[in-house]
A and B are shown apart, each in its own frame.
Chain A
């Protein structure tokens, strides 16, 4: 007899005097020794398969997002057919596909009560089996070979819809790491420590080979060298069967002490490997991967036979049943149907429990379906609830806690709603095993408090996150508004400046026109946004382009045009100023309109409009001065009409320009301009002709000329700043004497003021 055996025998003897000494036999802290009632169902053979009247298949698993349905109501499906599938990246969203457990017809896709403690409803596929159980063989289309890489295995597991069948239900494909060799030890959880539950026990007895093969497949894919299986000592049959199956394989079968909660992942890992999982660490990071025996069996069936996970072994047990049993239940079988098979002692008017008595929860509706994580359906008649007494701080719970927490402290803080303190006491490491509640002499439902605290803390963190997000978004919005305001102000400033410049430049001598224009353009460009400046320059250049870059062939036409060119330039100037004043669109669209012929078409249209305008103005001028406004309106209407006609020419951007021109002309009551316009029309015709034939390459020369002109203007400005006033002088005024100049300046100022007023008015009118 070896020393460890001797020790265990001695301790067992001691346990009669001091029960807690049994805790020294296992490696983790605490634990309890409840009454197991396992023989109720373990002694019965597995009941033969049973197809219920309807199957309810939730689209959502306990973990992750719901899958998307692929079938319609009324559709006939075969066993193993894919019914719902991940629409998003399943790896991120943890979506598990749903397969038909048997052949039948889809009756409905509607919200049904879920086997969840909340009793909430969610979308489920309701299937009416036809009893034929017609199956798609090898639904996953596998060739039976063992996958050599984690990716291959993961893809199969994803399509098979396999989740952790021990209780948590985490999708297995998401649990397995991507890198081969990351897992050095594969662990098989056959402990099954909860009272009443025997499904893993019976699975190991009947399908030991499948479990071992499943483990070997997984180890092969992941490159794990060691496989250890832990089975509690209270399942000797299972241990024997597994040892038999594992002989001549690297799988090591170990019996572990019978203590609750030995089947907890952290506890069994510690027991089997001696590694205690650190706070917040995942077993995978430590090179360990533990899965339930049922999961391994499912992996085997998926990889070798191509069968998706559509049924599982379920224990139907409890003190309220006459014939408890285990059964390969189809996923989706209602609890009540299975419980009825076990012949309840009294009618099932009390809620059934999903899971064991320690960790399970009462379902809100006994018709909820079996899901992939349902290991047990428990029918225990309600017992009188022991009255909850105040905590006496005995510390029993602390002794029993398998994770070394301070249950009592957490209880007090939870009661006081001090959830931050509960979190600091590591409530999230609590596995909700229920040991503390089990030992509590005051019958305090401690685990309920921790569950409540956990959900409160989770909600708190979610809220914090939302708050932070809201703050960010609000700040962003404020910044955006601020930026928009600044931009608007900058634009307005630039516009005003441009208007001012134009007002000055308008009256300048025609000979200096291009310079003045270039100058104002330069000013505006500096102030305005880059885009706008570019647009404006473009328009300016295109104006200038009419003058310098003329091929010899067109010289004659140019000669003829030259006389009118000055006025034309002036007119153009007005146009551009008007457009920049009122609407930013025209220059932009002018820029857009790169093609010369488009340009010419636009000019032709403008010309027509100008003619109409002239008529309108003539009418207006015949009318009395008091009727100027009405005339203006009339003119504008005509202009609009003209613009509508021009719609065919599709140069809509010229419309506001034309309007503006009209307005300006009227407000200035400029009689000479009428003549100008007439001249303009002829000039424009000629110019149009020139531009039409002007190839694109000439545009470049035109631009260069414009730049040159602008440079000259700048140089002139620098040379003689008083010449600024000169420029403001009227066309009619030649280079004058001192007093003449003064007069002219006075006149120009008046005009400028007038002009500004007019511009303001028109702007307001537009607004």
Chain B
């Protein structure tokens, strides 16, 4: 009885959370209208397939094979017409925002990467024609380009934002910039967001103790914060040798309990082998000597 109560409570709470985040997974109209600004290419499709296999396949399975995970709510096969009839903008929104238990990919995949996943999915949807990016270009809003440099004197990461207008490139003023460091999974935001100055610059203090790889390399990224999706995504990524060089061997590099057989602790190999040899030496000795008894005749 108690157990049932807890299960019900859990279900209620989890559904409430989902409701609050994402009522019914309804895609706003302006998001529905969103389209990819480039023509899908075979390269994109290939990249999309790789990303799909890494991020989506564990639940959704391989498209058309219907081998999606047996969980509830069911993830479904994404090659189905139910998915195929949705607009590009809807798919994009769903991938971006997720809906528990599906994670949101906002901070995991870039916009380009999300589009390439969609281009991969579209290859399974019969009768799909990609909306012409040329015709839509006008309605997409601002286009901003970012550039990133490291100021060794001030120890600051400098981001320059340039708006591409019809009159040519101009410094973008007041754009909200997020700087992040790439980790194994997802990104870590570096300090608060900052807005670009009059001449399009925003400077971020670089903490001197942040670890990099063994050469001190850190992968940094910056993007314009645009939750409403009013402009084309603007991101820049770069590898800079500004972290503290850290040479941490992977935990599986040394001999350890959790490593593979070839990296078993020496004492463990010795103990096991020795015990087996000693015990089986006696067993074999006994078997042989007992079998030998057959030759002994009564004197």
User: Do chains A and B interact in one complex?
Assistant: no
User: Taking beta carbons and an 8 Å cutoff, which residues of A are in contact with B?
Assistant: none
User: Taking beta carbons and an 8 Å cutoff, which residues of B are in contact with A?
Assistant: none
